[in-house]
Structure 1
Amino acid sequence: MLKKTLAALALGSMIAAGPVAAADYAIDTKGQHAFVNFKISHLGYSWLWGTFKEFDGSFSFDADQPEASKVNVTLKTASVDSNHAERDKHLRSDDFLNVSKHPTATFESTSVKSTGDGTADITGNLTLNGVTKPVVIAAKFLGEGKDPWGGYRAGFEGMTTLKLKDFDIKMDLGPASQTVDLIISVEGIRQ
């Protein structure tokens, strides 16, 4: 009888408390466990790869309710690195990122829709080069669990394709280079 009463009280407490809130995570940029990379076609013959070295952000996540998740990221556009100093200088110019006028780019999610098997479409507003447009990031949950330092982590990867002209990037790189792929890999530390 006592077991049934305790079980009923526990169940009643859980129901009264409502759904468990999503956990908040800080993206681990200091430990080099997060990347915002890009690739763009070079003349249709090969890929030019690059990264943004300075960014931070956070996300909230609940594996049982992925639709309640949220993502916020801010990156410093001057931190662009394509492994070529002169090209990076050009990428920072007003032909591309215009970093003197727009030193940051931001992404703020507006909705998350589960697509099954640990994947989801994250819709949000991307502000780049002073232009804000909705984008969809195809995301994949990589895993979660305790780390060796007593913390708890969760990891994701995602990808989206942007049209350069949508973000007022006027430099025409030719017909094979009208879009750029953003490839994001993040590991968050639960707060």
Structure 2
Amino acid sequence: MKTQLKAALLLASTVAIALPASAADYTIDTRGAHASINFKVNHLGYSFVVGRFNSFSGDFSYDQAAPEATTVAVKIDTSSVNSNHAERDKHIRSEDFLAVDQYPEASFNSTKYEASSEDSGTLYGKLTLRGVTKEIAIDVNKVGEGADPWGGYRAGFVGTTDLVMKDFGIPTDLGPKSTTVAMELVIEGVKK
């Protein structure tokens, strides 16, 4: 009986070693404010208006050994836009820009990831904003991963992309230097 048990345990451990590592699932850490969705728009060719979305949630799946299997899903409360100016934010929420009464949520769902190095690549996916869904590409760089002081495990990434406002049905023309919005995504996830 002991011999059979030892054989079974040996077989089980061999099978476990032979199985490929599977991706880990993470929740984006918005509770601890360790993630942010930031934007920057040229203002009249003289400076920039910068802001962020204060309320969003999401998850991602990531495996260092198989980064091509990465998946990301994020939902953004568009009414949470914050450019540090109440009147401007009211205008951004209006029909002239985000039309938050009609489209209270934006979302991103990845479709594929292409690695260009061990810690960087391009994440492709569908962004739905103002009722329009478009395929976008986000340049991604891994910041790091590892155990945290609270007994959890974290992974963090930074992504950048440019969005053309007209592509998402935003009717307001801010001038030739202000047709795109530069996005910076700082994502830290806690392993589930």
Structure 1: segments with no counterpart, 5+ residues: none
**Which moved further from structure 2: 114-123 or 73-82?**
114-123
Distance 2:73 2:55 in 1: 14
Cα drift, residue 14 of structure 1: 2.5
Aligned twin of 1:80: 81
Aligned twin of 2:17: 14
Distance 1:12 1:151 in 2: 27
Instruction: Determine what percentage of the aligned residue pairs are the same residue.
Output: 51
SS class of match (1:165): helix
8 Å CA contact 2:107, 2:129 repeated in 1: yes
Aligned twin of 2:167: 166
In the alignment, structure 1 residue 91 sits paired with structure 2 residue 92 = yes
Structure 2: segments with no counterpart, 5+ residues: 1-6
Read off the aligned partner of 1:67 and give its amino acid letter: E
Question: RMSD over aligned Cα, in angstroms?
Answer: 1.5
Read off the aligned partner of 1:156 and give its amino acid letter: F
Read off the aligned partner of 2:25 and give its amino acid letter: D
Distance 1:145 1:77 in 2: 32
Cα drift, residue 117 of structure 1: 4.0
In the alignment, structure 1 residue 39 sits paired with structure 2 residue 40 = yes
Cα drift, residue 12 of structure 1: 4.5
SS class of match (1:91): helix
Distance 1:117 1:41 in 2: 33
Distance 2:16 2:126 in 1: 38
CA deviation vs aligned residue, 1:129-163 (integer Å, no higher than 9, x gap):
00000000001111011111110000000000000
Aligned twin of 2:3: none
Aligned twin of 2:145: 144
Distance 1:53 1:44 in 2: 26
Aligned twin of 2:190: 189
Aligned length: 184
User: Normalized against structure 2, the TM-score is what?
Assistant: 0.92
8 Å CA contact 2:122, 2:139 repeated in 1: yes
8 Å CA contact 2:157, 2:188 repeated in 1: yes
8 Å CA contact 2:21, 2:65 repeated in 1: no
Distance 2:16 2:159 in 1: 37
Distance 2:56 2:25 in 1: 18
Aligned twin of 2:176: 175
Read off the aligned partner of 1:14 and give its amino acid letter: I
Cα drift, residue 11 of structure 1: 4.3
In the alignment, structure 1 residue 107 sits paired with structure 2 residue 108 = yes
User: Structure 1 pair 13/31, CA: closer, same or farther in 2 (3 Å)?
Assistant: closer
In the alignment, structure 1 residue 157 sits paired with structure 2 residue 155 = no
